[in-house]
Amino acid sequence: MMLLAVLASCVMQDPIDAVAASEAHRVAVIDRCAQAVCSVMSMDAPGGGSGVIFDPAGFVLTNYHVVGKPDDDYKLPDPPQPPEAVLEAWRQQTEGDDPDEAAFIAKWQKEWRREHQPSGASHYKNKKIGLPDGKLYEGVVLGIDPGSDLAVIRLLPKVAGQTWPSCTLGNSDALLVGETVFAMGNPFLLATDFTPTVTFGIVSGTHRYQEGQGNRMLVYPDCIQVDAPVNPGNSGGPLFNEAGEVIGINGRISIGDRGRVNVGVGFAIAANQIKNFLGDLVAGRHTEHGTLDMSAWFMNSRAGKTHKRGVFVQQTFADSIVAKAGVALGDEITSFNGIEVRSANQLATLVGVLPAGTWVTLSHRPQAALGGFGDEREVTVKLTALDTGSSRDGTGDDARLGSRIDRRIAKDQIVNSWPESSEPGVTVQWTRRGPDGSKLVAITDGERIRLEIARSVLVSLDEKEGDGTQGFAKANGEVRDLTADERERLRRERISNPVLWPRAAVAAHLQHALLVGGVHVHGAPAYRFALPGDGDCEAWLFLDGTPAGFAFRDPMRRAHVQWFVRDTKLRVVVDGELETGWSSGMRATGKPEDQWFRRDA
Amino acid sequence: MRTAMMVLAAASVLSAQKADFGKAYSFDERKPKTQIERTVDKLMPSIVKIHGASGLATIKSYATGIIVSDQGHIVTLDQILLQKDRTRVVLYDGSVHEAILYPADEKLLVRILKIDPEEVDGKLQPLWPPSEEQATYRNGQFVVSLGNSFRLAEFSEKVSATFGVVVGKANTALRYRMADVKYDNDIILTDACNNPGHYGGGLFTLDGRWIGLNMRLLDSKETNTMWSAAIPSRDLLPYLEERVLGKKREVETDKVVPVWTGITLFEQAGRQSPPAYVERVKRDSPGRTLGLRVDDLIVRIDDFSIRSCSELRSVLKKYVPGQTVKVMWKRGTRVMTGDMTLSEEPKK
């Protein structure tokens, strides 16, 4: 870049030096990035696409259209026999009881399936992944996003504990038209040794909306337009910025009159959109896109007395989520998730990059009877799933392409990637404010937790020291033992609420957790981790490891409660219904004060 | 419901708008840092999207234009979509304006549109072709090309920017039939991508000088190649000065006298491109003086090889009466050559 600036202004530095410096920088970046770019091919079909390793544990991003549809006739392999050592141990244990060995083996195999095989209805055959080191690896298709053309594959290691060179995802919202970028991949499968082809260009446009194909599949709601040549076979390959960060996945091109060849108009799925689906994809899910269940259009009119310019609701169903929230035909849409809406394409872009189930805010001005508009009001709705026609294989938590092992590896990898914390203090104190103004204060210190709800105080003590019944409740000046429900409530809050974990203890808290998917919390993507035990306990953490919220079945309220936390924003959802009026106060860390956990204090 | 429908119907009446001109792009962005980013950022408000009569087959109904005066003059490539009362211009801020059409320049195949500056909120940011010295460019020099490729940008969205180098300067007349283009002048060849919709946009150096107006892709059916090209901006000056500044043109390009040879060609009805066989030669005509006879096949005029009647006609348009051309023709198995001095058609 410096080279171009210097050449253009024709001043100062010797241009040749500048050219050499810029070129040397680019060559170094390309050299590093190329290690992580791979070719993705089917086991039994010609052709293929590209991909990029974004995690040292061998997680690969590519296009959905590269992995194709699930293989209908594919049957999962049978489980192996239990190892002889396991059988021997079991025989010794059950000696003399007339053991049913067949039943034991069946049980063991069932457990093996649960651990090693996906639970969904549809499956993929493993893919062949060629890396620039010239080696061919096998890869498991983990997660798919047919709605906007993404897929995640996990490489199977050739030796235990193998790691791969990888590239990190950059911030695609910081891209500007004119910024230099390069695309990598294996167009036309030119490289039989899998060294990627590199093409160079500039960002031609940002936040482009490209319609999908078929039944709302392969929509590119927020893509980057580039003039770096992208050709068949480049699909699924990365688009890099000058710093060597993956800022997009190249997936499609506009073509002229001559068939599928490059005309200088390529599109890459933006990295920030990918991040929104990363949790679901890595957790082995068939992701779903959200929709407001309405269409809007841009209008610019001076007909009649009123002057209209803006985005207006064009179509909606009577039972759609927005209609139920009070948004009607002809209303003006003013902002979405706090971002001012200036065009219909922009609204489609903002909604299109969000997964189904995301809570969003929408501001609108209702159309008044005489053609004017009322005051702006804000509604909060939960995006419904867009039917892409690909969901027939089953969606939701049950439809998984990845096994529990995959999810455990993913969890370990994510937790390990978070920076070590140097935060002082062992106790954490967090205050929430309810809709009626009441305070809810939680304090933890290791296994001890104290919960102040309005005027009552619940305290549960270290379970290791006692029999688990230790703890007490104080209300109206009286002290009594905890009820079973109260004790369970405290346990669930303690194990699932990451806001109450000292930063240094995050890995320990998630030791037995499993990555189950992604969740969008107040405009930022986060991971969902399921914790073992009863109560559907889940801890949510943002991609950088900071707390994003939690969920569990509250035995005191007898309801499933979700807490969405970001800074001072707090959204509470009880059995799927929004409870408005919550806010989050400061989180503080420090040393424990003994009186917090003393019964007689 | 009815009110809603009326609101929808009203939207088809598009007209200009007051808004914060130049600040209407949908998403917030960081500040430009590099030279290309700065140049693109600076030029974007001067580029407009043009929408016109709906497209037929491969002819697109959209194009790009460049604002050339604060009075609302916009220059673009002359094309079929530019129809009276049906041409709309979308400014950088997303506002839509109806445009009136000025007469096109027959030679450059460009046209000026005008929108009402009163309807524009804020000040238009016009560009003007740089002077002769400023407009220089060299082969290999970096350029950015701006235009609305494939109509990817709508309303206030930014048009596409592509990057490349100047490949060379060419004269389409000398490379006649290398590309199937009806343009007869110097052009700038570039590898900065150009696509349908990009036409009428600008080609700029990295420091933001306007050096060319993007023209249609040069397309050679013979070699199956396409080239991106631009009309040098300085060639637009006489037309812009005449139509925008109201200057009289010094050159009488308007009145071109067609040349006359006195030859009638054998054009079979229904055949697409019949070869140039002579059917009749008039008395006292350049053709008769040369010695052409019925059934002679004309195969070459100067450096242009002639394959059909229509090619002969378009080649002859490049000459004026009084010029002498070298003609090559076939009579039976013999190839003959001779000089022919072209004349004006005699008045009856």
Q: Do domains B2-243 and B263-341 have the same CATH topology?
A: no
Write down the CATH number for the domain with range B2-243.
Answer: 2.40.10.120
| DSSP letter for each residue of A54-85 | EETTTEEEE-HHHH-S--TT--PPPPPPPPHH
Model pLDDT, residue A95: 73
Residues of chain A neighbouring B226 (CB-CB closer than 8 A): 256, 258
| DSSP letter for each residue of A246-312 | EEEEEEEE---SSSSS--S-EEEEEHHHHHHHHHHHHTTBB--BEE-SEEEEEEEE--SSS-EEEEE
Relative orientation angle of helices A404-417 and A101-116, to the nearest 10 degrees? 40
Rounded-to-integer distance, Cα A227 and Cα A268, Å: 11
CA B121 to chain centre: 30
> CA angle, A549 as apex, A573 and A335 as ends, to 5°?
65
Relative orientation angle of helices A2-9 and A15-34, to the nearest 10 degrees? 160
Q: Which segment of A41-55, A85-99, B227-241, B297-311 scores lowest on mean pLDDT?
A: A85-99
Rounded-to-integer distance, Cα A171 and Cα A248, Å: 9
Nearest to B243 by CA among B114, B335, B138: B114
Question: Which residue is it, tokens 């199937």?
Answer: B180
More confident residue, A568 or B6: A568
Residue A420 pLDDT class (50, 70, 90 cuts): confident
Sign of the CA dihedral running B198, B202, B206, B211: positive
- The nearest CA of chain B is from the CA of A256 a distance in Å of 7
Residue B251 sits at the chain A interface (C-beta within 8 Å): no
Please indicate whether, in this complex, the C-beta atoms of B11 and A301 are within 8 angstroms of each other: yes
Please indicate whether, in this complex, the C-beta atoms of A176 and B41 are within 8 angstroms of each other: yes
Question: Which residue is it, tokens 């320990």?
Answer: A508
Model pLDDT, residue A150: 95
Give the number of other Cβ atoms within 10 Å of residue A597's Cβ. Answer: 21
Please indicate whether, in this complex, the C-beta atoms of A5 and B144 are within 8 angstroms of each other: no
Across the interface, of A178, A303, A312, the residue whose CB is closest to B37 is: A178
Q: Which segment of A190-199, A234-243, A579-588, B180-189 scores lowest on mean pLDDT?
A: B180-189
Please indicate whether, in this complex, the C-beta atoms of A256 and B192 are within 8 angstroms of each other: no
Rounded-to-integer distance, Cα B180 and Cα B174, Å: 13
Contacts 24+ apart (CB under 8 A), B314-317: B315/B176, B316/B258, B316/B259, B316/B261, B316/B342, B317/B258
Q: Is A280 exposed, middle or buried (0-12, 13-18, 19+ CB in 10 A)?
A: buried
Please indicate whether, in this complex, the C-beta atoms of A342 and B142 are within 8 angstroms of each other: no
Q: Which segment of A139-153, A421-435, B286-300 scores lowest on mean pLDDT?
A: A421-435
Nearest to A146 by CA among A352, A287, A356, A357: A287
Residues of chain B neighbouring A256 (CB-CB closer than 8 A): 195-196, 217, 226
Across the interface, of B24, B161, B195, the residue whose CB is closest to A178 is: B161
Question: Which residue is it, tokens 């897929």?
Answer: A151
Is pLDDT of A8 > 60? no
pLDDT in tens, A462-512: 766 555 557 889 888 888 888 889 989 999 999 999 999 988 889 999 999
Domains of chain A listed by start with CATH number: 17-72+122-286 (2.40.10.120), 81-91+99-117 (no CATH), 290-385 (2.30.42.10), 420-597 (no CATH)
Rounded-to-integer distance, Cα B228 and Cα B194, Å: 5
Rounded-to-integer distance, Cα A499 and Cα A489, Å: 16
Residue A270 pLDDT class (50, 70, 90 cuts): very high
The rounded mean pLDDT for chain A is 87
Rounded-to-integer distance, Cα B239 and Cα B294, Å: 44
Please indicate whether, in this complex, the C-beta atoms of B39 and A178 are within 8 angstroms of each other: yes
Element at A363 (helix H, strand E): strand A359-365
Model pLDDT, residue B80: 77
By C-alpha distance, the chain A residue nearest B208 is A8
Counting every residue written for chain B, the total comes to 348
Each domain of chain B, given as residue ranges in start order, spans: 2-243, 263-341
Model pLDDT, residue A12: 52
Model pLDDT, residue B58: 67
Residue B197 sits at the chain A interface (C-beta within 8 Å): no
CA-CA distances (angstroms) from residue B282 to B182, B257, B258, B311, B321? 30, 19, 17, 21, 17
Give the number of other Cβ atoms within 10 Å of residue B283's Cβ. Answer: 7
CA B304 to chain centre: 23
| Cβ(A401)–Cβ(A124) below 8 Å | yes
Is pLDDT of A307 > 80? no
How many CA atoms within 13 Å lie on the side-chain side of B198?
27
Residues of chain B neighbouring A203 (CB-CB closer than 8 A): 161
Rounded-to-integer distance, Cα B339 and Cα B348, Å: 26
By C-alpha distance, the chain A residue nearest B137 is A8
Stretch A134-160: mean pLDDT = 92
Give the number of other Cβ atoms within 10 Å of residue A320's Cβ. Answer: 17
Q: Which positions ≥6 away from A535 have C-beta within 8 Å? A: A488, A492, A552, A553, A555
Across the interface, of A178, A304, A369, the residue whose CB is closest to B34 is: A178
Residue B39 sits at the chain A interface (C-beta within 8 Å): yes
Question: Which residue is it, tokens 């600076």?
Answer: B42
- The nearest CA of chain B is from the CA of A342 a distance in Å of 6
| DSSP letter for each residue of A323-359 | HHTT--TTPEEEEETTEEP--HHHHHHHHHTSBTT-E
Residues of chain A neighbouring B32 (CB-CB closer than 8 A): 176, 178
CB pairs under 8 A between A and B: 177
Q: Which positions ≥6 away from B170 have C-beta within 8 Å? A: B186, B187, B189, B229
Q: Which positions ≥6 away from B157 have C-beta within 8 Å? A: A205, A207, A208, A343, A345, B25, B26, B94
Sign of the CA dihedral running B146, B229, B124, B120: negative
Residues of chain A neighbouring B15 (CB-CB closer than 8 A): 300-302
More confident residue, A189 or A273: A273
Find residue B331's DSSP bridge partners.
B334
Residue B155 sits at the chain A interface (C-beta within 8 Å): yes
Q: Is A367 left (phi over 0), alpha (psi -120 to 50) or beta?
A: beta
Does the domain made of B263-341 have the CATH classification 1.10.10.10?
no
Walk along chain B (348 residues) and give the pLDDT tens digit of each residue.
333 333 333 333 333 333 344 444 567 788 898 899 999 999 999 999 999 877 666 678 899 999 999 999 999 998 878 888 889 999 988 888 999 999 998 888 899 999 999 888 888 999 999 987 888 888 999 999 999 999 898 888 899 999 999 998 877 654 545 555 667 778 899 999 988 899 999 999 999 999 999 998 887 766 777 888 999 999 999 999 999 998 887 655 556 678 899 998 887 666 667 889 998 999 989 999 999 999 999 999 988 888 888 888 888 888 888 899 999 999 999 999 999 999 988 876
Residue B157 sits at the chain A interface (C-beta within 8 Å): yes
Residues of chain B neighbouring A7 (CB-CB closer than 8 A): 142, 206
Element at A530 (helix H, strand E): strand A524-530
Counting every residue written for chain A, the total comes to 601
Model pLDDT, residue B328: 94
Buried-state track A11-23, b at ≥16 Cβ within 10 A, e below 16: eeeeeeebeeebe
Residues of chain A neighbouring B156 (CB-CB closer than 8 A): 342-343
Find residue A584's DSSP bridge partners.
A432
Residues of chain A neighbouring B95 (CB-CB closer than 8 A): 300
Strands A439-445 and A427-433, by their bridges, are antiparallel
Please list the helix, strand and coil fractions of chain B in percent, rounded to the nearest 5, in that order: 15, 30, 55
Rounded-to-integer distance, Cα A401 and Cα A232, Å: 26
Q: Which segment of A281-290, A332-341, B8-17 scores lowest on mean pLDDT?
A: B8-17
- 3-state secondary structure (DSSP) of residue A494: helix
| Cβ(A325)–Cβ(A334) below 8 Å | no
Across the interface, of B33, B195, B205, the residue whose CB is closest to A8 is: B205
CA-CA distances (angstroms) from residue A326 to A170, A308, A317, A334, B164? 38, 21, 12, 15, 51
| Cβ(A586)–Cβ(A599) below 8 Å | no
Amino acid at A305: K
Rounded-to-integer distance, Cα A528 and Cα A153, Å: 19
pLDDT in tens, A212-265: 877 677 889 999 999 999 998 999 999 999 999 999 999 988 877 667 778 889
Nearest to A156 by CA among A409, A415, A414: A409
Sign of the CA dihedral running B76, B81, B85, B86: negative
Please indicate whether, in this complex, the C-beta atoms of A227 and B193 are within 8 angstroms of each other: yes
Nearest to A271 by CA among A22, A525, A578: A525
Model pLDDT, residue A258: 66
Query: Rounded to two decimals, what is the model's pTM?
Result: 0.83
| Cβ(A40)–Cβ(A33) below 8 Å | no
Rounded-to-integer distance, Cα B3 and Cα A329, Å: 9
Nearest to A157 by CA among A401, A398, A413, A511: A413
Residues of chain A neighbouring B96 (CB-CB closer than 8 A): 300
